Amino acid sequence: MTLSAKFFKTISQWLPAKVSPERLRELQNLNPQKIYVENVRSILRVPNVVARRFCETAVRQGVFAKRVEVVCPDGSVAASAAAERDLPAVVRCWTDVNGEYEEREFRTEALPKTTFYQLQQ
């Protein structure tokens, strides 16, 4: 069974019967390696707290793994890890300096972090 098929099967078992087939297809199209709470919230049309609870329940049941990524000023992902403490202290990001792009180092603690989930294989 492919990873996306496993994801689809698992998700469809947890959802209330009122979820339309179109929404289930949207869920199936998510990248099983980068599942964001906002994507789940948007597709299921539920509040953020419900989508987060859904993802955290999946972690407790061993279906998802929780991860964190550090985001550069331009929105690109500089690094990801299983926990924030596992991120590197410094990351390199491309930044626009007077119309020229330069690679610069940033302290990870100064950059925003985003939580995401991965389907366990």
Look up residue 53 and give its amino acid: R
Mean pLDDT confidence for 79-91: 97
In angstroms, the CA 25 to CA 44 distance is 11
pLDDT in tens, 86-111: 999 999 999 988 889 999 999 999 99
pLDDT at 117: 96
Among residues of the chain, what percentage have pLDDT more than 90? Answer: 51
DSSP per-residue string spanning 26-59: HHHTS-TT-B-HHHHHHHHT--HHHHHHHHHHHH
Mean pLDDT confidence for 31-50: 90
The whole-model pTM stands at 0.78
Q: Is residue 32's pLDDT more than 90?
A: no
pLDDT at 87: 98
Q: Is residue 1's pLDDT more than 60?
A: no
pLDDT at 39: 92
